[in-house]
Amino acid sequence: MAPVLARDTIPAHLPERLTISFWFSYWATDLQEGEGFHDLEQVFRDLVARGFNTVRLDGLWSWCFRPDGTRRGPVEIGRVAEPGYCDYGPGTKTLGGGTVDALERLLKLFELARKYDVYVGLTSWEYQPGHTLGFLADPALRQEILDIPVPARFDYTSMQIDRLLTTLKGEGYGDRIAYVEFHNEIEYSIGLGLPGGTVALRAAVEKQLVFLRERHPDLLITDDYSLPASEAGFEVDAAERFVERLAPSSQLVDHHLYAWSASIQMALFREAGIGLFTSGHDEVMRRAEEKELFQWLMKPDRPSWQEYRQHLGIEWLAQWWVLNYVYQYMDVDRYDYWMFKHYPQYEDRMRSFWRNGIQFMASHARQRGLPLVCDEGYLCWPPSHSQFEPSAVGRANFDYIVDHMLQAGYWGYMVSTYAFPGQPLWEDQGEWLAATHKRVQAAT
């Protein structure tokens, strides 16, 4: 196994390797009885039992502070759809209806992180359509944040990050911060609508990284993007364009590794006439209803799309509406059957993308003298109760990815985006997770 790239640039108190669990905003939204984060301390116990030493989560800066820097206090948690209409989509099942004081909750989380010797990677999905802001029940609060013009969102975000980091360090938790991302998948989120293309986006992010590094020289500050994949898999030209946008002042090469169009799941979506990020929902659903695979996948007693959409909630989450409908009324056994039956057609293509992507990103990190982190991947968005990812096939792919990352000298590893409380990989494969993370942490 290769040594960790640029280990001498990583603060000495941080782990030799990070084994990362994806907590998104669930830690602040999924709080009711029966939800995954109802008992936060138990979640930490389960986390370390599964071999994780790091969590990556949404810092919820704008839930913690108003734009003027004052503490915001409790906010009401929203939901994607009415109860009973969104039960099978990972990350969109939040029951809603309660309130949370995000800053108070985050300080409690850091207190437990210290108790259980866990580190925290901070990021944000604030300006990513269909994500964090959709769980604010108050439309006026959501609009307050969205009304900030696109160019001004960069300064606004870095100021909010600075406020949170200053607060956390003031409470003595600075040594629990593994790294800080300016924003998750910048090209798909805060960068949307910014004039000037890649050059302007890179300059805008660079300005914020410089500011945050000056304010917090003791922390690792980075940008964050998702390596593109085509139906053919890994493409060198696309990867080279990808690294061109990475900011010079980033202190990590922090990327995602979704097989996207090359994956078996996206092939199923294409054949069924649906999409991961769709607009024009009524037309998409009209076309899908004409597809033989769609009809085979869906339960015959389902409500119509037109009836279902009357029970949907916040428009900000609209990109997930079609898939929420499909997942809600799909026969998951048939979904899994199709995935297992057709998997051999896609294995080489997906594994080639993962392998070549890992090698390419490691080469780029080595050239820049930076540590390397992959903290999302590797197919895309599964139905909650699907057994494909937790199966021997899915786990073999994760083992394959981890093996190649160990050989490439990665510092941070996320074995699967969908290993968090309430998901089958977390609930049913705890021993495998622990063994995998033991292998990562024992690597030399």
Q: What percentage of the chain has pLDDT greater than the value 90?
A: 97
Give yes or no for a contact between 253 and 246, defined as CB atoms under 8 angstroms apart.
Answer: yes
CB-based contact 330:299 (threshold 8 Å): yes
Query: Mean pLDDT throughout 204-231?
Result: 97
* Residue range 392-429, pLDDT digits in tens: 999 999 999 999 999 999 999 999 999 999 999 999 99
Six-digit token pair at 175? Answer: 């040594």
Task: Please state whether beta strands 253-256 and 225-226 pair in parallel, antiparallel, or not at all (unpaired).
Answer: parallel
E strands, 115-158, are 119-123
> Left if phi > 0, otherwise alpha if psi is -120 to 50, otherwise beta: which for 94?
beta
> Is pLDDT of 228 > 90?
yes
Q: Considering the entire predicted model, what is its pTM?
A: 0.98
Q: How many residues does the chain have?
A: 444
Burial of residue 188 (CB within 10 Å: 0-12, 13-18, 19+) is: middle
User: 440 pLDDT exceeds 90?
Assistant: yes
- Given a cut of 90, is residue 269 above it in pLDDT? yes
The model's confidence at residue 45, banded by pLDDT at 50, 70 and 90, is very high
* Residues 121-143: tens digit of each pLDDT: 999 999 999 999 999 999 999 99
Average pLDDT of the chain is 96
In the predicted structure, residue 4 carries a pLDDT above the cut 90? yes
Residue 112 corresponds to which tokens in the numbers above? 């437990």
313: confidence class by pLDDT, cuts 50, 70, 90: confident
The pLDDT value recorded for residue 8 is 98
Q: What does the pLDDT read at residue 277? A: 74
Residue 208, pLDDT above cutoff 90: yes
Percentage of the chain beyond pLDDT 70 is: 100
Whether the Cβ atoms of residue 57 and residue 24 lie closer than 8 Å to each other = yes
CA gap 107, 100 in Å, rounded: 13
Return the pLDDT at 279: 77
Residue 216's contacts (CB-CB under 8 Å, 6 or more residues apart) are 162, 165, 169, 180
